[in-house]
Amino acid sequence: MDRQNFLDKVLAYGKQEGFAECEVFYRGGKAFEILIMEGEVANYENSKEEGLAFRGNIDGRTGYAYTEQLTEDAIPFLVNMAKENAALLSPEDMEDLYEGEESYPELEGVNEELEQLAVSEKIEAAMKMETAALAGAEEVASLDYCALGTGLAEIAIKNTKGLDVFFAKNFATAYVSAIARKGDETKTGTYFWKAQDWNDFDPEETGRKAAERAASHLGASSVPSGKYDIIWDGRAMVSLLGAFAGIFFAESVQKGFSMLNEKTGTKIASEKVTLRDDALLKGGYGTQPFDSEGVSGKNKAVIENGVLKTLLYNRKTAKKDGVASTGNGFKAGLTGSVKTATTNFYLAKGGISQEELFSQMGDGLFITSLMGLHSGCNAVSGDFSLSAEGFRVEGGKLGQPVEQITIAGNFYHLLEAVEEIADDLYFGSSGIGSPSVLVRNLDIAGN
């Protein structure tokens, strides 16, 4: 039975069993990954999975159920399980289903060339990546990890109120972790790449950058405690932005877990700061024409030139505030309920290069990585105290590597203090992005 017919049969059976309205959420996909070690394929995975979540309203309550068995025999079990679960839930928690929209953004999610890529080509590229990493710096002794993968994800949502949407997208990923040694000192450097266009992938560059990052931190030392001007590398800023993304969720504000209550329309950041959530970004990790509730994806400014323009909403939180959903209602999996989540969430790039940013700062620190994000960030107050690594900057030039330091501050204050942003926009594996950012006079605890 094809997918569309199966979805129709589930909905029909739901109506037959007394559901006033019901919905099916399909998630499927396939994944390929190889792990290279010492010139050999150390691990090879080629998998496929699919599943279906059902929800519906019956007797004034909403019931949920899910299955990974997409057979006709599974339909009665799925629907009856949802009916049983509905009886356990409160009428106050009943959810209304979305009837959909007249039209949705047209996005090209599947790169056919990537789908036709032979396994032998993927293995050859991964081998080149390992070879380049081992030769990328003389201090590199071995690789901790060298992996390459491709994947295809499919989402379909259909309900009895008229919603009927489908989207598929594919992608390729590469990850290298190199180990550099000098005497008794060992450092690790990583590089991650993800995109839809295989022609954008340079395996030698990916391996070489991992090696260079590992070797560049050999000989690192701490710095005296004090206040320093800081340039946050895109990678470090992505980590910080990810840790505090939740303060822009309407549900966080409504529950008192964010300081942005009644701040919409007011200036909360430097005029240099424009923060976007763009579900329509071409080739983006979080690109999708609709969210898990069937609301169309949008490109919106959360902060524009320092002014808070909108919070991020799902349908439930939007109804509470009397506004429209921003298309940010997502399920983490088949069994999860809809929560707020970002799509392609990034700090817009500025108009100068990273080199010009160094020159503008003069002396200070260039922070490249952060540790302790789970324990060192208070998502309510905005305070953070994080272990960090990076480099000294002297006279606008990159200097000696730095480690064993702690950087402390407040995320809300940091947004206000942004002096300049470079044009080197970087996206991490989670779809969060940032260029390099200059902020002055931050607290550093060192030696």
Under DSSP, the state recorded for 283 is T
In the predicted structure, residue 167 carries a pLDDT above the cut 90: yes
Assess whether 301 and 152 both reside in one domain.
no
Q: Are 6 and 68 in contact (CB under 8 A)?
A: no
pTM of the model: 0.94
In the prediction, which pLDDT does 210 show?
Answer: 96
Domain boundary among 214, 242, 260: 214
* Mean pLDDT in residue range 222-241: 97
Q: Using 50, 70 and 90 to split pLDDT, how confident is the model at 144?
A: very high
User: Residues near 118 by Cβ (< 8 Å), separated by ≥ 6?
Assistant: none
What's the confidence (pLDDT) of residue 411?
98
| The pLDDT of residue 385 is above 80 | yes
Is a pLDDT exceeding 80 seen at residue 441? yes
Check whether residue 147 and residue 295 sit in a common domain: no
What is the predicted pLDDT for the residue at 254? Answer: 97
Sign of the C-alpha dihedral computed for residues 354, 359, 361 and 366 taken in this order = positive
Same domain, 131 and 258: no
> Does residue 209 sit in the same domain as residue 250?
no
Helix (H) / strand (E) element for 322: namely none
For the chain, the straight-line distance linking the first and the last C-alpha, in angstroms and rounded, comes to 67
Domain boundary among 214, 241, 257: 214
Same domain for 233 and 180: no
Does residue 229 share a domain with residue 209?
no
Q: Is the pLDDT of residue 107 over 80?
A: yes
Q: Are residues 36 and 159 in the same domain?
A: yes
Judge if 175 and 272 occupy the same domain.
no
> Cβ(379)–Cβ(362) under 8 Å?
no
Work out how many domains the chain is built from and give that number: 2
**Can you give the pLDDT at residue 336?**
80
pLDDT at 378: 96
Q: State the pLDDT at residue 333.
A: 85
**Residue 292 half-sphere exposure toward CB, CA atoms < 13 A:** 27
- Identity of the residue numbered 5: N
- Tell which residue, 194, 365, 345, 363, has the closest CA to residue 274: 345
Alpha helices in 99-145 (DSSP H): 112-115, 119-135
b/e map of 369-388 (b: 16 or more CB within 10 Å)? bbeeeeebbebeebebebbb
pLDDT tens figures, 262-297: 999 999 999 999 999 999 999 898 999 999 999 999
183: Cβ contacts below 8 Å, ≥ 6 apart: none
The verdict on 319 and 433 lying in the same domain is yes
Alpha helices in 31-156 (DSSP H): 74-88, 112-115, 119-135
Structural tokens at position 83: 């009916």
Question: Contact 297/343 with Cβ under 8 angstroms?
Answer: yes
Q: In whole angstroms, what is the distance from residue 304 CA to residue 76 CA?
A: 50
Percent of the chain with pLDDT over 90: 94
Q: Are residues 94 and 172 in the same domain?
A: yes
Q: Are 156 and 284 within one domain?
A: no
Look at residue 1 in the predicted model and tell me its pLDDT: 65
Same domain, 280 and 362: yes
Supply the mean pLDDT for the chain. Answer: 95
Report which listed range, 7-21, 186-200, 331-345, is most confident.
7-21
> Residue 126: pLDDT above 90?
yes
Give the domain-ending residue among 182, 214, 246.
214
pLDDT greater than 80 at residue 341: yes
For residue 201, CA distances in Å to 47, 104, 196 come to: 23, 30, 9
Domain hosting 209: range is 3-214
pLDDT digits (tens, 9 = 90+) for 400-410: 999 999 999 99
CATH, residue 50: 3.30.2290.10
Write the single-letter amino acid at 250.
A
Q: Note the pLDDT of residue 92.
A: 87
